[in-house]
Amino acid sequence: DTGVSQNPRHKITKRGQNVTFRCDPISEHNRLYWYRQTLGQGPEFLTYFQNEAQLEKSRLLSDRFSAERPKGSFSTLEIQRTEQGDSAMYLCASSPSGGPRGYEQYFGPGTRLTVT
Amino acid sequence: AQTVTQSQPEMSVQEAETVTLSCTYDTSESDYYLFWYKQPPSRQMILVIRQEAYKQQNATENRFSVNFQKAAKSFSLKISDSQLGDAAMYFCAYRSPGNQFYFGTGTSLTVIP
């Protein structure tokens, strides 16, 4: 399967702990996005990379959140000092930047975070 | 700020019938993309159909078609010959020229056998 993969699929952590999620995009896609989805809501944009450059970051993203994409391949999303309000599904998506399928995002299965 | 509104939290359709899901959006841009995504229960989101704002012709993908009304900022999805596998959450999404995506709150579609 050459789709977008995310690890771990589930994460339970205690409030105040740090967590890190990983996303492996489709290999030829140079754009990568992170979203947060809570129950009954649509995905909410967090941040976006083109290759290794982080081009956009939501104002909703607090300083406790950081994302990296070293070498323009996989990406990590870290949440420091987790809070119960961080409990959500974290989705990753990738897309090519051009061609007939440009701007179409392909989503991973998500990482479900539960903060106790 | 761009917003996407899906006013139908839930819809149902008889198998083999047609259903239309509504979406409106707000933007001051003239060049953008619109998408419908499907999210089956406990499964990942997949793209159903996309529409470029500069195209007047409505997009179609097999049983799925859209009614894009640019002036009214409306983007509805029509599913023809509904199948049990169409049951899912459907999200309307707007892509800005700056490559940010905004999603609606979704419509849960039930297909009745």
Taking the Cβ of residue B43 and every Cβ of chain A, the question of whether any pair is shorter than 8 Å is answered with yes
Q: Cβ separation of B44 and A110 shorter than 8 Å?
A: yes
From residue B2, alpha-carbon distances to A26, A46, B38, B64, B96 in Å are 28, 15, 21, 25, 8
Residue B43 is given by DSSP the state S
Residue B21: pLDDT band with limits 50, 70, 90: very high
CB < 8 Å to B103, chain A: 35, 42-44
pLDDT of A100? 65
Residue of A37, A54, A57 to mutate, interface with B, max B Cβ within 10 Å:
A37
**pLDDT tens by residue, A87-114:** 999 999 999 877 666 778 899 999 999 9
pLDDT of B35? 95
In whole angstroms, what is the distance from residue A33 CA to residue A93 CA?
A: 5
Taking the Cβ of residue A44 and every Cβ of chain B, the question of whether any pair is shorter than 8 Å is answered with yes
Which candidate from B43, B45, B105 shows the least CB-CB separation from A41? B105
Residue B63, pLDDT above cutoff 90: yes
Helix (H) or strand (E) holding A46: strand A44-50
Kindly give the parts of chain A with pLDDT less than 70. Answer: 1, 99-101
pLDDT of A1? 53
Residue A64 is given by DSSP the state T
Average pLDDT of chain B, as a whole number:
93
Taking the Cβ of residue B48 and every Cβ of chain A, the question of whether any pair is shorter than 8 Å is answered with no
The structure tokens listed for A60 are: 């909703």
- Does residue A87 contact residue A11 with C-beta atoms inside 8 Å? no
Residue B1, pLDDT above cutoff 60: no
Q: Cβ separation of B98 and A44 shorter than 8 Å?
A: no
Q: Comparing A92-106, B31-45, B46-60, B95-109, which segment has the lowest mean pLDDT?
A: A92-106
Q: Cβ separation of B103 and A43 shorter than 8 Å?
A: yes
**pLDDT tens by residue, B73-83:** 999 999 999 99
* Residue B48: strand, helix, or coil: strand
Q: Cβ separation of A43 and B43 shorter than 8 Å?
A: no
From residue A95, alpha-carbon distances to A51, B42, B59, B108 in Å are 11, 22, 20, 26
Average pLDDT of chain A, as a whole number:
91
